[in-house]
Structure 1
Amino acid sequence: MPIPRSEPTRRLPSGRRREAILALLEDADRPLGVDELAGALGLHPNTVRAHLAVLVRTGAARRTAGAPGGRGRPRDLYAAAGVAPDGYAALADVLAARLAAVAPDVAAEAVAAGRAWADRLAAADAAPEGPEDDPLGAVVGVLEHLGFAPAVVGDEVRLHACPFRRLAAERPDVVCNAHLGLLQRTLERTAPGVRATAIHPFVAPTLCVARIAGA
């Protein structure tokens, strides 16, 4: 299935071009090749290839080999790192809609669900421990494990990918507050005195920001 062609992005700054590439990867139902992305965005393939290298290096995208197609090495294909499988995404959509319909305080219930999620990850040993001298190391490890491509900048944890980006755009009161609860409980467990105070969704098309206090 061809991907839709967007307006040319040649005049955009480099960071905005990468955001446009990542948005296409997140919206696609399959990994995409360089030529497909270049055609959709009106960019030269070499330009797209350079931006993809940055996205892969920062953990926002992953590279895989396509199926062999004759002589030569298979072409590289790219997908967003933080995209939930279709079945899980559909289930999350149903659960989010149900929570929004029945909870008297949707935000509070979503935060509580996120805290329970953090406890479940810890109980299953799926919550990586960070360096002892880095109060945010553990929470960054959890976010990396879940596919958020996090980066710490000052008192912020910047999330460059989201496993539930489409759903978060539709229901930020559920999804983003669940992520806030996940951060809060993980920090309580691994860095007492450090708190996640808020998540600001989509400050850029592919960027959410968590505010941290006490680090």
Structure 2
Amino acid sequence: MTLPEPGQHAVGRRAEVLRLLRDAGSPMAIAEIAERLGIHVNTARFHLQSLVSDGRVERTTTDSRSPGRPPQLFQAIRRMDPTGPRHFRVLAEVLAEVIATDPDPSRRVLAAGRLWGRHQAATVIHPTATKEAPEPADSVERLMRLLDELGFAPERPAAGDRPQINLRHCPFFELAVSRTDVVCPVHLGLMQGAMQSWASPITVDRLDPFVQPDRCVAHLSAVGGS
């Protein structure tokens, strides 16, 4: 039995199988695919199984009424490749540049962040959560959980009159460094929107970005407080 091809060569061969099926005018059998590409039937079968699992190729059969089991055929699924490369950072950079041309970009993205926060708030389930307005400590606990799920690596606030949450990681670090005026208000709005959605007596009234190279600080206060 021929073993699957290792490493990058296997990826290239799989792409050849997919390209052949895309260019074909009709479904193809394993033996035909192997012959056209000059590979072993087992190798073709291995790559076809992977392509089927990835949702890029599908199995089909002929309508032959001849005796016996009809041969299994394969054809490419006509759609964009769901496993292809993504460049979301480039898109984010373009959008940030566009937003930055607004006369008041911080106000605009703060509102967008609050909307994001209200949507995200519904995903946070806390053991002590009730339909009633949460206690301050419960609100902070929910916010900590939300920030952790989104990759901000939050640290619990220290005791004091002005509690704060240290954020040790920024999921949008590269963009935040170059566009603090756009990215950081989104994060502030995220936290405010979540707290509003929970009817929390606590809010985040300020976010200080990069007070240290590895730390941003979200300042908490009572709703309506100073």
- Structure 2 runs not aligned, ≥5 long: 1-84, 130-134
Query: For residue 113 of structure 1, what is the aligned residue in structure 2?
Result: 112
Alignment of 1:77-116 (within 5 A): 87-101=87-101, 103-116=102-115
**TM-score normalised to structure 1 length:** 0.54
Superposition deviation, residue 191 in structure 1 = 4.6
Alpha-carbon contact 2:118-2:196 (below 8 Å) kept? no
Query: For residue 29 of structure 2, what is the aligned residue in structure 1?
Result: none
Superposition deviation, residue 88 in structure 1 = 2.4
Superposition deviation, residue 144 in structure 1 = 0.7
Alpha-carbon contact 1:187-1:194 (below 8 Å) kept? yes
Q: Which runs of 4+ in 1 moved over 3 A?
A: 125-133
CA 1:131–1:174 in structure 2 vs 1: closer, same or farther (change >3 Å)?
farther
Identical residues among aligned pairs (%): 36
- Structure 1 runs not aligned, ≥5 long: 1-84
Q: 1:141-186 CA distances to partner (integer Å, 9 max, x unpaired)?
A: 1111110000122310110001111111111111000000000011
- Kindly name which structure, 1 or 2, has the bigger radius of gyration based on alpha carbons: 2
CA 1:87–1:208 in structure 2 vs 1: closer, same or farther (change >3 Å)?
same
Superposition deviation, residue 95 in structure 1 = 1.2
CA 1:128–1:142 in structure 2 vs 1: closer, same or farther (change >3 Å)?
farther
Cα distance in 2 between the residues matched to 1:203 and 1:130: 33
- Give the secondary-structure state (helix, strand or coil) at the position aligned to 1:135: helix
- Give the secondary-structure state (helix, strand or coil) at the position aligned to 2:87: helix
Cα distance in 2 between the residues matched to 1:175 and 1:131: 32
Query: For residue 194 of structure 1, what is the aligned residue in structure 2?
Result: 202
Q: How many residues align?
A: 128
Alpha-carbon contact 2:191-2:204 (below 8 Å) kept? yes
Alpha-carbon contact 1:131-1:137 (below 8 Å) kept? no
**TM-score normalised to structure 2 length:** 0.52
- Give the secondary-structure state (helix, strand or coil) at the position aligned to 1:148: coil
- Which amino acid in the other structure matches residue 138 of structure 1? R
Query: For residue 156 of structure 2, what is the aligned residue in structure 1?
Result: 152
- Give the secondary-structure state (helix, strand or coil) at the position aligned to 2:139: coil
